Structure 1
């Protein structure tokens, strides 16, 4: 009888010890430690711009979807040749131009994951212009790039032309996602917090055919018809986003060349204040007529396919004056709440990231380190005063087609930011010229993919994985109680 009682007591002690060990293990192991390893997912987006096309491949852990700051850039690939709009007369080549970058993408994405990769192509201002000129040609180009992408083992989700406002909004999403501006997790409060609205960055984008400005103004400064409302991570953001078609740097140079030519007619040698001294560029009038931005029906343009020669004079102040005369600033009068062509714009607010051509031009001139406006002006004037012989010998590796345009582009950036967008001496310091953030390129592509894959949902992010504090407390209490009972049983056995 006594032996049976001891055996029963031993069994109780053993069970309690076993339960103690199990509880201890469960309390120390976090939820994510007992789940399967995270699965990496991929996505790809083609940025089909007016002057070139680029492919971006992104990756993220599937178990962190809808959290913040988890998407990273795996690959960027520049497509050889011009933008897809340049293939209006040969649409199949638009599709073929993408193959090299698609092949590179498949080299970095594991074969077993490729068929699940969402793949998009977004076209911007170049295709918007082509659609205005020839809608059927634009449709054929999109059909050909879609046909090519469908040949590859990816989940093709469509090729489409973005509106200018979409382009601006997606760039704004990209910047604030990469800089973790939308929402932050507070370990102390055990919740997601919305950063102050003043910490939300604005976006300044300059391409070849258009420019975009997007920011979050004061609530009362935005009328009902001016803004767009986005709901991200459980918060509503009312943003101002506007795109100016034909105000990209390439189209502005065409427009300026046309105005200089018609003002000098019938002379075939035309002084160009934005080109360096000693530089000459032959221009065909048919080239000017090729874009709707230069108004091919202008009666001041001489008929036929005659040519003129642009001769650089390298005068920064005259260059800015010529560019300013093209911008329709008079429609705003003296109002500060107005930008170009009489378009309303609320007062600027907060810091801005200036990317794309804003960055590339200023990077070449070493002006991306936060220099004050006076120093920027001085550097641009100094560069513009240099002769073509001096520049070509000083930058032997620079593209000879791009080098003579830096003076014009830099002065256009100043004109656009100061005269159109209304930055000034004091607010200039709020502009950061950069092309990368959080290890990824800044642009609209990441924001586009995040939106279409619902990686930035309307609702707030889910609570972080792991045991809650109440569960931990219960586990510890259970361990202590179990050990006390086990110790009591052991003492009882020894006593008996």
Structure 2
């Protein structure tokens, strides 16, 4: 009987030791060590530009790569009408304009996940100008947009006005993400890896009210007020980025018209070298007061409410000369690290993607196939010499308002890229004009969403939520089981 009790005691002690070891091992297992099927998350971003608004829907696995979601675009929707800044006199319409695209977006995400879909609206230069001119009107537009968004079953986060440098930097992120410059899937390793020789491209964005340039310069950025820093996929990046308000395409055209009218003093008929010959456009001088870019007083021009007719001359060289007057190049002196108005910029380096209005204007003239600079100049000059009857009959489906302005727009692009940013005959070949990479749109929206995914925690299943493994927890479990083991052994020995 004694032997049986001894064997029984030994068995009990052995079992307790085994359980203690198992408990210790289990207490040290981390949630990250458990392979779980990832769940799909969704996000929505409204791009509220100065001339239009678009909605983009993105999705990514909750199993994030180095704290940044691997995001793909699943839907885009163009909002009908102009940009939300145009509703300054009727703010409720700004919110109502978004409803059609919101309804389409809800159909693109499962109903069970909709209330968890983070939704953002980012306003760019149009709203920056409105805030500068009438801050209360800008606040009312934002409030109405937020009010509309909150009516929908989504996790509405914010409607905010992006700074120009944010817009530029997020566009840079979008381009390099889509081109696999940050991370790339390796079929051999069955995981996402950082490309060893990744080519980081620059971003050139031209909107209606502003333009942005963003790139990684050779060496360091000496003016750190112009630098933006990011951590993406476990790597740090520092880029130069600058935004020029009032140098977007639409604001440039207004400033050009005002300059031409100012030079003609009180005349009611003014020659416009960039407009096609035999084309005319009548504008009201009071329209210049609607934008901070043109409402400054000009001693040559009294902004009384009178009409002026702009008459096209189809003069390519005259157009280019008139556009160059919109820039203050003399403020840079002999400095090479300067664009205009005394703005610092390191020398451009590497390859660039030029999108938005850069792309649309050059696409119209079939200049997006990598033509050399000489061929680009020749094509633009020839287009500018064509009269209005020739153009309107050759492009019957093109909006007359846009058709009449391609000469001015393309000459403006040449001036901005060559005279301001200082691209030359050689570096021109490093600019690629495109609006998509694969099936995704190029712009700031995807970069904005990518950055925001760093703030959205990866999901864990319910049974592991709240489990915080640590050495302290392991120690507590081990001590408890050791005490239990010792007590059980003592009792058994006493019983024997």
Structure 1 partner of 2:27:
none
Question: What does 1:79-478 correspond to in 2, within 5 Å?
Answer: 79-184=79-184, 194-195=194-195, 199-454=199-454
Compare 350-359 and 104-113 and name the one that shifted more. 104-113
Cα deviation for residue 226 of structure 1 reads 3.2
Structure 1 partner of 2:58:
58
SS across alignment from 1:401: helix
Cα deviation for residue 69 of structure 1 reads 8.4
Cα deviation for residue 437 of structure 1 reads 1.0
Relative to structure 1, the CA distance from residue 370 to residue 236 in structure 2 (aligned partners, 3 Å threshold; closer, same or farther) is same
Please give the alpha-carbon distance, in whole angstroms, between the structure 2 residues aligned to 1:131 and 1:368: 35
Relative to structure 1, the CA distance from residue 107 to residue 185 in structure 2 (aligned partners, 3 Å threshold; closer, same or farther) is closer
Contact 2:182 2:198 in 1 (8 A): no
Structure 2 partner of 1:42:
42
If the length of structure 2 is used for normalisation, what is the TM-score?
A: 0.82
Please give the alpha-carbon distance, in whole angstroms, between the structure 2 residues aligned to 1:159 and 1:68: 22
Please give the alpha-carbon distance, in whole angstroms, between the structure 2 residues aligned to 1:154 and 1:287: 39
Structure 2 partner of 1:78:
78
Contact 2:204 2:353 in 1 (8 A): yes
Contact 2:316 2:385 in 1 (8 A): yes
Please give the alpha-carbon distance, in whole angstroms, between the structure 2 residues aligned to 1:228 and 1:456: 22
Please give the alpha-carbon distance, in whole angstroms, between the structure 1 residues aligned to 2:84 and 2:65: 33
Contact 1:380 1:411 in 2 (8 A): yes
Contact 1:69 1:180 in 2 (8 A): no
Please give the alpha-carbon distance, in whole angstroms, between the structure 1 residues aligned to 2:225 and 2:310: 43
Contact 1:66 1:454 in 2 (8 A): no
Contact 2:68 2:453 in 1 (8 A): no
5+ residue gaps, structure 1, are 1-33, 458-496
SS across alignment from 1:317: helix
* Equivalent pairs, count: 425
Q: Deviations over 1:205-256 (max 9, x none)?
A: 0000000000001224533333222222222211000000000010010000
Contact 1:68 1:177 in 2 (8 A): no
Q: Deviations over 1:335-379 (max 9, x none)?
A: 221012110100111000100000011111110010000011111
Contact 2:65 2:233 in 1 (8 A): no
Please give the alpha-carbon distance, in whole angstroms, between the structure 1 residues aligned to 2:67 and 2:367: 35
Relative to structure 1, the CA distance from residue 149 to residue 121 in structure 2 (aligned partners, 3 Å threshold; closer, same or farther) is same
Cα deviation for residue 111 of structure 1 reads 1.6
Please give the alpha-carbon distance, in whole angstroms, between the structure 2 residues aligned to 1:201 and 1:278: 42
Cα deviation for residue 196 of structure 1 reads 6.1
Structure 1 partner of 2:30:
none
Q: Deviations over 1:362-415 (max 9, x none)?
A: 111110010000011111111111111111111111112111111110110000
Cα deviation for residue 137 of structure 1 reads 0.8
Compare 220-229 and 260-269 and name the one that shifted more. 220-229
Cα deviation for residue 261 of structure 1 reads 0.3
Contact 1:359 1:368 in 2 (8 A): yes
SS across alignment from 1:211: strand
